[in-house]
Amino acid sequence: MKKYSPNETKGALFAKRIDDETFEIEKVYFEPNVGSFAFVKLYNNRTYKKFCKNYFDKHVGEYHIHNYLGDWHSHPSFSCTPSSYDVKEVEEDLKKSNAKFLVQIILKDQNNKLVGNAFYYNENISAKKIDLIIQ
């Protein structure tokens, strides 16, 4: 079973915490590869590591306000809902990190308009849909 579409891409989201339920995305990492290469774990990617270092160097000691929020990826050929592979990947990342929650955004181009959905995960919740505002 294929785990990705050949045209999928991926990245990471870094956000500023506004309040307990509101985050403003400040920086977005875009993986330059598509397809299977995009789905190599980002934390093994040298370019991504440099991107993270620059973000955290800018916000030294402010991890409770500025931090990694989760990932984003595209579903160009199907629905903007998490596949079983997507859910498994986020749940594994949650277990390996010290994050209390992670967000996953799934996007696609639909009639030249960016559309998508956002999902919230914590140790008790798998893929709870949350509001996503694209401006």
Architecture in CATH of 10-130: 3-Layer(aba) Sandwich (3.40)
Stretch 117-134: mean pLDDT, rounded? 85
Q: Contact, 81 vs 99, CB < 8 A?
A: no
* Mean pLDDT for the stretch of residues 32-48: 67
**What integer best gives the mean pLDDT of the chain?**
84
What are the sequence ranges of the domains in the chain?
10-130
Q: What is the pLDDT of residues 60-83, one digit of tens each?
A: 989 899 999 999 998 888 899 998
101-110 and 66-74 beta bridge pairing: parallel
Cα distances (angstroms) measured from residue 11 to each of 37, 45, 73, 120: 12, 11, 6, 16
Residue 27's Cα: distance from chain center in Å? Answer: 11
pTM of the full predicted structure? 0.82
Query: Would you state the pLDDT for residue 97?
Result: 81
Q: What is the DSSP letter of 38?
A: G
Categorize the per-residue pLDDT at 6 as very low, low, confident or very high, splitting at 50, 70 and 90: low
The pLDDT, as a whole number, for residue 1 is 37
Task: Express as a percent the part of the chain with pLDDT over 70.
Answer: 86
Residue 121: CB atoms within 10 Å: 21
